[in-house]
């Protein structure tokens, strides 16, 4: 009797089933990813200051950012940090004791 019970438990574990049903399926109220991908986004956040924008305002801002003559300015401290990180990356790739 005990052996059959252990076999039943082993089979249930192998199949991944419990008395509550399959755990691999999402709950029925979750929307599938395919449906979420087709939703139309009607509002967005500005990448500049984080304010809520309508879809038209967001498209306008994206066009302005694309047409800018000057690249975004990076502070000299941040540039130095990036340079040092690049040096560290080169050092780590060449260092045989890493």
Note the pLDDT of residue 64.
Answer: 87
Sign of the dihedral through C-alpha 32, 33, 38, 44:
positive
Q: How far apart are CA 97 and CA 73, in angstroms?
A: 37
Sign of the dihedral through C-alpha 74, 75, 78, 83:
positive
**Per residue of the chain (98 residues), what is the pLDDT tens digit?**
566 665 666 666 665 555 555 567 888 888 888 888 887 777 788 888 888 988 888 889 889 888 878 777 889 999 999 999 999 999 999 988 86
Domain contains 59: yes
Domain contains 47: yes
Residue 51, token pair as written in the block? 């304010």
Note the pLDDT of residue 13.
Answer: 63
Q: How many domains does the chain have?
A: 1
The boundaries of the domain holding residue 55 are 33-68
Domain contains 93: no
Residue 20, token pair as written in the block? 């509550």
Note the pLDDT of residue 87.
Answer: 96
Domain contains 95: no
Note the pLDDT of residue 8.
Answer: 64
Domain contains 18: no
- What's the predicted TM-score (pTM) here? 0.34
């Amino acid at each position: 009797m005990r052996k059959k019970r252990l076999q039943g438990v082993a089979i249930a574990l192998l199949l991944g089933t419990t008395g509550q049903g399959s755990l691999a399926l999402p709950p029925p109220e979750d929307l599938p990813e395919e449906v979420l991908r087709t939703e139309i986004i009607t509002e967005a956040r500005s990448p500049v200051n984080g304010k809520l924008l309508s879809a038209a305002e967001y498209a306008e801002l994206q066009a302005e950012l694309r047409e800018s003559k000057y690249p975004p300015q990076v502070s000299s401290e941040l540039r130095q940090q990036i340079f040092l990180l690049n040096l560290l990356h080169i050092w780590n790739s060449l260092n045989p004791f890493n």
